[in-house]
Amino acid sequence: MADRSARPSESFGLDRLGTPIGTALLVTDADGALRALDWEDYEHRMRELLRLQCGPVDLRQRAAPAPMKAALSDYFAGDLAQLSSIPWRVAGTPFQQKVWTALAQIPAGTTLSYGALAARLDMPKAVRAVGHANGSNPISVVLPCHRLIGANGSLVKYGGGLERKRWLLRHEGVEV
């Protein structure tokens, strides 16, 4: 892997959005694409993921695009389809990008096991790698890592905490 620390610092905007499950941090690039969405109480982890995936990052207070904030607010108000209207961009390994793109294809109101996602990617033995990539997902909610569950249907691992995962799934109509 290339030494990302040798690259010049990228400048991203940082905004906040109140939600029913805490304050969301929205990181956007100069084109208005979402680069990270995490929770205020996990800001350190978000910054570290951005550093690992993008190299040095300079976060400056800057309002996220109004349509993005409106779409997220609408999602939290019950219009689940709004997430698909949010432009996003990720940096990561080709495998991570493949997993994150697949996450965006899991419809609201449904869940998938890590193994089922690995099988969808034609990599049925890559369950652990899928789990690791899922855990490195920088764009919570929009790339719905909360929709991945254990093979036995249990709630497992969510970077924002299991209570948020439970809330998100119930919000989308999944009984957990």
Q: Hey, which residues are catalytic here?
A: 145
Cβ count within 10 A of residue 137? 25
- What's the CA gap between 142 and 28, in Å, rounded? 13
Distances (CA, A) of 15 to 12, 18, 20, 67, 137: 10, 10, 17, 13, 19
Closest CA to 115 of 93, 162, 158, 148: 148
Query: How many Å is the Cα radius of gyration of the chain?
Result: 16
60 in Cβ contact with 11 (< 8 Å): yes
List the one residue out of 48, 63, 57, 73 whose CA is nearest residue 16.
Answer: 63
55 sits in the region (left: phi over 0; alpha: psi -120 to 50; else beta) called left
